Structure 1
Amino acid sequence: MKTVIIFDHPYTSTASENVPHQRSFLAAIYKQVVTQLKAENTEVDLIDLHADHFDPVMSAQDLANWRRGVPINDQIADYQQRLLATDQIIFMFPIWWEVMPAMTKGFLDKVYAKETLYEAGSMQTKLTRQPKIKVITTMSTPTWLYRWVFGAPLLKALFRGTFLKTRLFHFKWYGFSQVEKKSLEQRQRLIQTFKL
C-alpha cells in the first residue's frame, strides 16, 4: 500500500521538535503518522509544499495549460503521477481564516486538474485506485464553534466541493483544536495517542 502525504506548513515537516518559533504541532503529528504507517508496511511519499518551493499562484499561462489538460510544469506533472499511483492521500495543514492555506488551495487548483486527474465532462476521477482521502488539521477555533457557527467551510470545500464531486467517497477529517492552549505534556499525549 502507498500513501502520499501533502504537507503544508511554512516551517515544513521537519519542525517537529519543541523549539519556540520553529516548531509545528502538525509536524509532530506528521512524524507520528509516518511511524504508524511504516509499522503497517505502508510506503510513504511526502510532498512538502514549502520545502518543494511550490508556487500556488495560477498564472495566465498556467491556466491556459490547465484548460488544455497539459501539466503546468514538471513539478505538477510529477505530483500528478504520484497521486495516480497511490492508495491513500493525506493532507496536513493548519486552518487559517476557517479554510486551507494558499499552498493547499493552489495544490488543488493546479494539480487536481481536469483531463489529467478527473474527466471534465463527467467529473469522474481518474484516480482509479479510489484512494482514501484523509485530512489532518490544526486550528485555533474551538471545534464546536467551527462546525456549528461557521458551518465547517473546509469540509464543504474539500469533501463536497472537490472529492465527492469527482466521486472520491472515502473521506475522513481529523481536527486538532486550540493545541496552543495545551501544556507540553498534553500536546505530547495527543501526539502519542493519535491513530489514523
Structure 2
Amino acid sequence: MNVLIIFTHPNHESLSYAFLQEVLRGCEENDVIQDVQVLDLYGEKFNPALEFNENKKRRDMYKDPELEKYRKQLLWAEKIIFIYPIWWGRPPAMLMGYFDKMFASGFAYKDDGKLFPKGLLKGKSVVCISVMRGPTFYPMFWLNNAHKVLMRKALFHYVGIKKVKFFEFGNMENSKGKHREKIKKVYHYFQKINDHSLTS
C-alpha cells in the first residue's frame, strides 16, 4: 500500500506534528504499507491562492505544470492521510487552497451531464486526523457536524473517494486532554491498518 500524508500546520513543535510522527512510526511498523510520502504544505511553501487571468484559465487547472508533482502524488497514493488543526470550525485555509487547486475538473472529477459528476479518484481511501481547542462534541452539536460533512460529502465523495475515516480530537489545549492516549490510539491504528480495515 502506498501512503501519502498531507500535513498542514506551520509549527513543527505543535501537537499536530506529534501526531505526524506517530503516524509515520505506525506506518514503518506495518508490513502492508510499502511506501510513504509526506507533503508538508507549509514547509513546501505551497501557494493556496487561485490565480486566473488571460494566461491561466480555470478550465486548464487540471494540467497546470506547476501542480504536476502534486497530481502524481495523488495518483500514486492508495491511502491519503490528512493531519491538520480545526480553526473556525474547518481546516486551515492552506489545506482548503490545496483542495481548490488539486480537486480540479478533468483530474479529480469529470462532468458528464448527470446530476453528479464522475469521480476520478475512485479506489482510494482517506483518513483525517484533526485537533481543536474546543470540546470534541462542539462540531457535532454546535456546528451541525459541518467539518465532517464538508470533508466527506463536499470533497471526498465528490471526487469518488467513498472510504473516509475521522480522528477528531477536542480539548487539545487542555492539560486534561489525554494527549498521550489519543496519540497512542492513532499510532496503533496505523501500525495495524490494512486494505480492508477502513470503512466509510
Normalised TM-score (structure 1): 0.85
Corresponding residue number in structure 2 for 1:112: 103
* Pair 87,120 (structure 1): closer, same or farther in 2 beyond 3 Å: same
Moved over 6 A (4+): none
The CA distance in 2 between the partners of 1:189 and 1:170, in whole Å, is 25
> How far off its partner does 1:183 sit?
5.2
The CA distance in 1 between the partners of 2:172 and 2:109, in whole Å, is 36
The CA distance in 1 between the partners of 2:2 and 2:55, in whole Å, is 30
The CA distance in 1 between the partners of 2:171 and 2:54, in whole Å, is 37
Identity, % of aligned pairs? 23
Normalised TM-score (structure 2): 0.83
> How far off its partner does 1:148 sit?
1.2
The CA distance in 2 between the partners of 1:63 and 1:154, in whole Å, is 35
Letter paired with 1:188: R
For these two proteins, the number of residue pairs brought into alignment is 183
Given candidates 74, 79, 84, the residue that maps to 1:88 is: 79
> How far off its partner does 1:97 sit?
0.3
Corresponding residue number in structure 2 for 1:102: 93
Residue 141, structure 1, aligned to residue 134, structure 2: yes
**What residue ranges of structure 2 are gaps of 5+ in the alignment?**
190-200
**What residue ranges of structure 1 are gaps of 5+ in the alignment?**
16-22
* Pair 62,27 (structure 1): closer, same or farther in 2 beyond 3 Å: farther
> How far off its partner does 1:2 sit?
0.4
Corresponding residue number in structure 2 for 1:37: 27
Counting only pairs closer than 5 Å after superposition, residues 1-196 of structure 1 correspond to structure 2 as 1-11=1-11, 15=12, 23-41=13-31, 42=33, 43-61=35-53, 64-74=56-66, 76-121=67-112, 123-128=117-122, 130-182=123-175, 186-194=178-186, 195-196=188-189
* Pair 80,149 (structure 1): closer, same or farther in 2 beyond 3 Å: same
Taking only aligned residues, the RMSD between alpha carbons, in angstroms, comes to 2.1
The CA distance in 2 between the partners of 1:135 and 1:70, in whole Å, is 24
Higher relative contact order (CA 8 A, sep 6+): 2
Letter paired with 1:9: H
> How far off its partner does 1:36 sit?
0.7
SS of the residue aligned with 2:109? coil
The CA distance in 1 between the partners of 2:141 and 2:62, in whole Å, is 40
The CA distance in 2 between the partners of 1:62 and 1:44, in whole Å, is 38
Contact 1:94 1:139 in 2 (8 A): yes
Letter paired with 1:111: M
